[in-house]
Amino acid sequence: MEDFTLPRNGATPNWNAATFEAATRSWAEANDHTFVSEDDYSNLFWTTGIQKPEEIVNTVKVSTPATNDRGLEILKRANQWGSSEGFNLRVNGMARPQAVQDYMRQFPQMMGVAAKSSSHRLGAIDFDYVRNNDGTINRPKTDEFIKYLKQAYKVLEHANHIHVSPS
């Protein structure tokens, strides 16, 4: 966690956003992940730019906008569904270095939710629920989206998001 400047168990943070960004980039490249842009997808979007450690847990910002080939397939499939159904889907999580996973597990609200070893390094992607234009959750469409993804992937709905893992 130190290489990412993430504080450990309430220690005084030595946080540095530029160091965090460089460490996640190095980790992604060393693990054969491809950086992605929401410009490459007509119906997917996400927010990046972690400015302080708490944003990893308390926001829907993507800490590392990268994934491997299996994650790219999940993104492609989700984008196809969003396009055919007329919904823009928020991506909440992509590649996640173990240091970020360890940081998340320090928070009580993440216990039982954040696994000891992150499947995001294997290509898992997190999505928000399908939302209407006014921001409310569209439960029937969320259920359709989950059913669609389950045709090819392991899908877990938990902690207010949809976690999709390669089969």
CATH code of 2-166, in short, is 3.30.1380
**Per-residue confidence (pLDDT) for residue 142, from 0 to 100:** 98
pLDDT tens profile 68-101 = 999 999 999 999 999 999 999 999 988 877 777 7
Please, what's the b/e burial string for 24-57 (b: 16 or more CB within 10 A of its CB; e: otherwise)? beebbeeeebeebebeebebbebeeebeebeebe
pLDDT tens profile 156-165 = 998 788 999 9
Is pLDDT above 70 for 116? no
78: CB partners within 8 A, 6+ apart: 44, 89, 91, 125, 127, 145, 149, 164
Q: What is Dmax (Cα atoms) for the chain?
A: 48
Q: Which of 102, 126, 129 is nearest to 115 (CA)?
A: 102
* Average of per-residue pLDDT values in the chain: 86
Query: Side chain identity at 77, as an amino acid letter?
Result: R
Domain edges within the chain: 2-166
Q: Which comes out higher in pLDDT, residue 62 or 129?
A: 129
pLDDT tens profile 28-66 = 999 999 999 999 999 999 998 888 888 887 888 888 899
